[in-house]
Amino acid sequence: MKIHEYQGKEILRNFGVPVPRGIPAFTVQEAVEAAQKLGGPVWVVKAQIHAGGRGKGGGVKLARSREETIAEATRMLGMNLVTHQTGPEGKIVQRVWIEKGSDIARELYLAMTVDRVSGKPVMMASREGGVEIEEVAEKTPEKIFKETIEPCLGMQPYQARNLAFKLGLEGTQVREATKIILGLARCFMECDCSIAEINPLIVTTEGNVKALDAKINFDDNALYRHKDLEELRDLTEEDAKEIEAS
């Protein structure tokens, strides 16, 4: 089961992962009110669909004024957003996420999934954040760092620190990233995820580390253990045949 970015960020926040402040909006008026509540001077208007590549498709835009927020929310809500993951048919945007802007110094990548060979969870990290990780894996696989996790032990602090150092972080950033990595690992294990991804994980110009995006998918076979997570399901984003099959 897939969920929206803003829902994933709320889950990550519950596991101690810092994320930018934001508010979901289903109408243009709600988007304007969200921007006012968050405070400026810059906001990010992000279309919420179950697909990646939203930025290239025009689904992620900066807004530097109330007027720009109105313009972007008006354009996105109801639009048919086509990305490389939606296929040519695209997806209709029914909600947007209004987020307080972040000053970005570096973009990194962090994700946990299950290794198909070992059958064990693996945490992956890369200095190449903000791009398609499949492209990095294909062209420069040496830029992806991995730590295999023993399911009975969970991710160990030393493994998280190893990845933080390999990401080129220093000082307090290592401590912040270690906490984030361990939080992402706990989220993955405790919520029965099939993937938990932060792309990008950013370092701000002030030197703080936080999750600028969140992609969390859950194992459908384990949803019976998580009724609260099942409530996050958005049937409008799913194929009718898949809904019937489930």
Per annotation, catalytic residue among 99, 107, 109, 128: 109
Active site residue 135: no
SS3 per residue for 25-77: ECCHHHHHHHHHHHCCCCEEEEECCCCCCCCCCCCEEEECCHHHHHHHHHHHC
Active site residue 197: yes
Q: What is the dihedral of CA 8, 129, 97, 2, to 10 degrees?
A: -40
Give DSSP secondary structure letters for 168-215: T--THHHHHHHHHHHHHHHHHHHTTEEEEEEEEEEEETTS-EEES--E
Active site residues: 109, 197
